[in-house]
Structure 1
Amino acid sequence: MRALDLQDITLAGQNWGGPVVGLAAAMNPERFTGAVFSNTYLRLLRKPPKVTPYFRFANMPLIADVAFRLLNLPLPLLTWVQGDPKSIGRREKRAYRYPLRALRDRTAPLALTRMVPTTLEHPTIAELALVDRWARAFAKPVELLWGCKDPILGEAWRVNRNLLPDANVPKTSAGHYLQEEVPEDIANAIQRVLAADRLFTRPPKK
């Protein structure tokens, strides 16, 4: 962004994409004029989180390293988190597996899983604090497009709405990976934010 001097950026982030692009915006706030978030979590933790068995397992040394590589986790669980399990069929599974087909390539999913805070002293807390602060101050067009059948983050729109009280919140029956179930809804949300941004930034008539 800095090298190309990009301006008037509308960001879109889902799952870990939310904090990732949120951090980019927090570090370059003047470059962003709109945002679309889907099934993600932007708020800084204020109390120790409840750690699910999945994340407890992922943080077990050696055992999790072996399991994630051999079982190619979390790919076998993709359909479980969808509103419509058929939305991730054979072709989609093959596409998700493609960059992770070799054992040596399977470190990233485990690394991302271990980035989820399990304590208030977790290394990602400092960056999430920046994202939280940016979101609370962001006063440009925002949509929270949500998949309410997501067993992981289906109710998290409420938390994010507290950070972004003026956000529009279109809800869908999709699961975690909205891009596989409601891609048109994502495109429409981005288009609405772009249109709202043009009205928002249009200079007043003389």
Structure 2
Amino acid sequence: MPADPTDRLRAALAQAGHQSSDFDLNPDTTLPVGRKLRPAGVLVAVSLAGPEPEVILTKRSSALKHHPGQIAFPGGKQDEGDRDTTAAALREAREEIGLPEDLPEVIGYLPEHETVTGFRVTPVVAILREQFRVVPEPGEVDEVFTTPLDHLLNPENYMVESRRWRGQRRFYYTVPYGPYYIWGATARMLRGLAERVRE
């Protein structure tokens, strides 16, 4: 029986930390003065229902306008009806993958993350102690899969890669797993968790 990582994760999340952003590895980026970021929440759901702790991720639909085909946490922007970004993350997880909102046990938060698309994302970390029936949202989610928590908590599995974006070379984190290319904001937030756990 694998060790329950809940206490270790709680301790890591309780540490003070700095916000992260899609620009961490690109310090020469000039951000607009007075920019307004839209609040959003994503759910970093750690499932303990299987033989080893795993994190639930999605592969976004290739038909979407923004970030088609990319690997992401369940989540999205905070709507008017959402009490806060935690409520937004839980609602979106229900809509995107069929996760019942009363199943996740929220244990803490990672520092907010600013995305290149203008969102201020709160990563909500939660434990799932029971299995649930995964129902991907048609048109938005192509696939729901899990990645071993140990893989994501090992800093040695992270790499820095780059590509040209809007005429400039942009650097970003990746943490590949099997056929899945986890990169960008998702990889950056996961790396922040790995750094905290290892401290």
Give the alignment's TM-score, normalised by structure 2.
0.19
Structure number having the greater helix percentage: 1
Structure number having the greater strand percentage: 2
Which structure has the bigger radius of gyration? 1
